[in-house]
A and B are shown apart, each in its own frame.
Chain A
Amino acid sequence: MSRLRNLGILAAAIAAAAVAGALSSTASADRPLPAAIALHIAAGLLFVVVGLVIWTRTPGNRVGPLAIAIGFATFIDDLRFLPYSAAFTVADYFGPLQYALLAHLAVAFPGGRLRSRWDRRLVEGVYGWVLLSNLFPEVFWASALPAGPHNLLALHRDAHLHTIVGNVHQVLNVLVALLVIGTVWRHWTLASRPSRRAMAPVAWASGPVAVAIAASNSLGLVDPFGNLKAGTEYLTPAALIILPSAVLIGMLRTSLRHSAVGQLVVELRQAPSPARLRDTLAQTLRDPTLQLAYWVPQEGAYIGTDGRPVDLATVGPNVSTTLIERDDQRIAALLHESSLDEDPWLIDAVAAAAGLALDNERLHAELVAQLAEVRASRARIVEATDAARRRLERDLHDGAQQRLVGLALAVQMARDKLGATPEAQVREILDAAADQVVHALAELRELASGIHPAILTEAGLGPALESLAERAPLPVSVTVSVDGAPAPVEAAAYFLVCEALANVSKHANARSVSVCARREDACLVVEIIDDGVGGADASQGTGLRGMADRLAALDGRVSVVSPEGQGTHISARIPCALS
């Protein structure tokens, strides 16, 4: 659609340029110099083309249509070469509209909108002034009207009055131009850095244009004989041809920021730190004052990257706020220069990209925190379990076991005191009691050692595994070349071997097992290798599964390789740096 529109406008402009060129070069009277005609037409066409480019790239920006309008307005002046008085009048009267449009563009540049009330009044005033003030030199005509096309508005012929009105008009024109220049200057001083980047080329180009226009106008005042007029004919179109290029360059510099959004998305692939994200966004928006504030639900407030709360209601002057939200949830806010509001597409795109990155970052952080919490809680559970086991064993040792030994002694003494009395039944009962106590002690010993082997905490993993091997129901060789691993790591390794040996003796039908514990890097590596039937499945049975969980709580890993008929190889790695 816009492509068709653009082609139409371009065709119209070329047609208008062709007509204007043909008219101005064939006109007999008051014929301009050919080079001046060429420059004049080129400037008009250039304005239209530049306007089309800008309009296509930033459809919401009025700079495009304005530039197109200026281009077409350039050709109005050439209507005077038509053989009709009406056309001559239109050309003479509406020709200067071009300057009003130029003023409009200058005041509205680069955002395309008139931001303040003064700007709007000024532009309205300039349009009004151009249309109204032009009436006077038109109406008060100096010389006799020619036979050809002439000014239809010339009602009062008075050479003297014409000169006076003309001069006053010129002076006032200069004043209006100064007002416009002053306003643009004020815009420049207040402009943000990104705005200045766009304004700079236009500002630099406007100098020559203003000088040229002023010169061609004021020369009329000082050069009544027209000796210099030939020179000024080149001056205005030559200056005008610079201006659209400057506008285009300025707008392109702005739209470079748009392409930077693409770069931003690429850069945000890797979740950056909050400070780096702020820097990246500031760079993309070319706004070094940019602030990034995170919404922290727990605080119910926005917190800046420096960790301080940010009150969006009391931001400074010339600062605008753009909220970053995902799924109707507040995530963050961008505090940026107000001038960026002129380019809503840019700020929306940057906010969306930042939202994506922040959301990713937030989800990632949540996940990491949850994972860390799960890990920590698992480690705590294992530690608590180990502590509970140690306490239970100690309680058994200090309580039941001691009391049973005392009881055994008492029974023994009772039996001795009985001496050789004939109460054989009592002796039998006491013998049975003594026997029971000895058995109870033995069972309690096994139980206590199963709950927590005292030797593990007292003498370490090596003696504990040796002790385990001594009591195993099949040959077990133990090689331990590691000493002083953290207690939870040693406990995990010990219980893993316990579980593995129990499994081997139950299911593997193995002739022998070798157990090996050694240090590799900062890890305790435990291997249990049997020559049994193999085919063990780690996912089957709760024993090994539980061991895997226990190891995982310490960031350890266990692998079970058990091909059918080739024995089972259990291997565990437990980081020792922990705790």
Chain B
Amino acid sequence: MRIVVADDSVLVREALVRVLRDADLTVAGQAGDAEALLACVETEHPDVVIVDIRMPPTHTTEGLVAARAIRAAHPSTAVLVLSHHIETHYAMELIADGGSGIGYLLKDRISDVAEIVDAIRRVAAGQSVIDPLVVQRLVDRRRTANPVDALSAREREVLALMAEGRSNQAICQRLFLSPKTVEAHIRNIFGKFEIEDMADDNRRVLTVLTYLRRETA
């Protein structure tokens, strides 16, 4: 698997590159800003791009813009966006088109090698990856008539994993549940939320996140 890493912090970029190489992944290129990243993608055609959201020149959302540009120009290239600050707003922007192979993770996650490698493999496989912190915020959010309160503890666990973009199979493995049980939980959740279940995993992430986000007071 060929990976391109873009981060203006040399310290973080090189540490990440070393971790990836240790995990037997190929780092095809490195970039310090969005412009260099886009040029690198054009020449290297990587499978996965890992990009910091905040890069020169304005240090705001260059990484996000680059991610969407890459997704539009190279649908086969998966993109994992990293950020020190996690915002639902950006997560929604990234998965808004329901497209596959896109991820949004807190930068802290790269300290857990297993987790970051798992996330890379998942986006490369065309799944969506949403940081647990985003999901946690949405699930924990206080509401006046809170439909989340109607869920059982187990259903909430399933909801969180589903919202993070994990497949039924992954949920089964994580929670040591049979596929039938997980499917039953998911049916219950959609029933209690009064929304329609989606066959497509990525569409399901968007639906669940939109639902959790929409609900306010």
> Is there an interface contact between B19 and A413, defined as CB atoms closer than 8 Å?
yes
Residues from chain A with a CB closer than 8 A to the CB of B110 are 405, 408-409
B43 at the A interface (CB under 8 A): no
Residues of B within 8 A of A (CB): 9, 11-12, 15-16, 18-19, 22, 54, 59-61, 84-85, 87-90, 107-108, 110-113, 137-138, 141-144, 216-217
- Nearest first, the 7 A-B pairs at minimum CB distance are A408-B111, A477-B217, A463-B89, A477-B216, A402-B9, A409-B15, A475-B217
B159 to chain A minimum Cβ distance, whole angstroms, is: 16
Q: Which residue of B lies closest to A472 (CB)?
A: B142
> Is there an interface contact between B15 and A410, defined as CB atoms closer than 8 Å?
yes
Q: Which residue of A lies closest to B16 (CB)?
A: A409
**Which range contains the number of A residues in contact with the other chain?**
35 or more
> Is there an interface contact between A473 and B84, defined as CB atoms closer than 8 Å?
no
Which of B54, B59, B61, B111 meets A411, CB within 8 Å?
B111
Which of A141-149, A309-317, A448-456, A517-525 interfaces with chain B?
Answer: A448-456
> Is there an interface contact between A394 and B59, defined as CB atoms closer than 8 Å?
yes
A189 to chain B minimum Cβ distance, whole angstroms, is: 79
Residues from chain B with a CB closer than 8 A to the CB of A472 are 142
Q: List 23 A-B contacts (CB under 8 A).
A: A397-B54, A401-B84, A402-B11, A405-B110, A405-B111, A408-B111, A409-B19, A411-B111, A413-B19, A416-B22, A445-B84, A445-B85, A457-B60, A463-B89, A467-B88, A467-B89, A469-B216, A470-B137, A473-B142, A476-B142, A477-B216, A477-B217, A514-B217
Give CA–CA (A472, B113) in the complex, Å.
Answer: 32
Which of B84, B88, B108, B137 meets A438, CB within 8 Å?
B108
Residues of A within 8 A of B (CB): 394, 397-398, 401-403, 405-406, 408-413, 416, 434, 437-438, 441-442, 445, 448-449, 454-455, 457-459, 463, 466-467, 469-478, 511-514
Residues from chain B with a CB closer than 8 A to the CB of A478 are 216
A280 to chain B minimum Cβ distance, whole angstroms, is: 57
Residues from chain A with a CB closer than 8 A to the CB of B11 are 402-403, 406
> Is there an interface contact between A438 and B111, defined as CB atoms closer than 8 Å?
yes
Residue among B12, B88, B111, B141 with most chain A CB within 10 A: B111
Give CA–CA (A403, B10) in the complex, Å.
Answer: 10
Residues from chain B with a CB closer than 8 A to the CB of A466 are 88-89
Residues from chain A with a CB closer than 8 A to the CB of B12 are 402, 405-406, 409
A9 to chain B minimum Cβ distance, whole angstroms, is: 94
Residues from chain A with a CB closer than 8 A to the CB of B59 are 394, 397-398
Q: Given A397-B54, A459-B89, A463-B89, answer yes or no on A437-B217 (Cβ-Cβ < 8 Å).
A: no
Residues from chain A with a CB closer than 8 A to the CB of B217 are 475-477, 512-514
Residues from chain B with a CB closer than 8 A to the CB of A434 are 111
A416 to chain B minimum Cβ distance, whole angstroms, is: 7
Give CA–CA (A463, B143) in the complex, Å.
Answer: 18
> Is there an interface contact between B142 and A441, defined as CB atoms closer than 8 Å?
no
Which of A448, A449, A470, A513 meets B88, CB within 8 Å?
A470
Give CA–CA (A409, B111) in the complex, Å.
Answer: 4
> Is there an interface contact between A474 and B142, defined as CB atoms closer than 8 Å?
yes
Residues from chain A with a CB closer than 8 A to the CB of B18 are 413
Which of B90, B107, B137, B216 meets A405, CB within 8 Å?
B107
A106 to chain B minimum Cβ distance, whole angstroms, is: 89
> Is there an interface contact between A437 and B89, defined as CB atoms closer than 8 Å?
no
A438 to chain B minimum Cβ distance, whole angstroms, is: 6
Q: Given A463-B87, A478-B216, answer yes or no on A408-B144 (Cβ-Cβ < 8 Å).
A: no
B66 to chain A minimum Cβ distance, whole angstroms, is: 14
Q: Which residue of A lies closest to B14 (CB)?
A: A406
Known: A406-B15, A470-B138, A471-B137. 9 other contacts (CB 8 A): A398-B59, A405-B12, A405-B110, A408-B108, A434-B111, A470-B88, A473-B142, A476-B142, A512-B217
Give CA–CA (A57, B108) in the complex, Å.
Answer: 96
B25 to chain A minimum Cβ distance, whole angstroms, is: 15
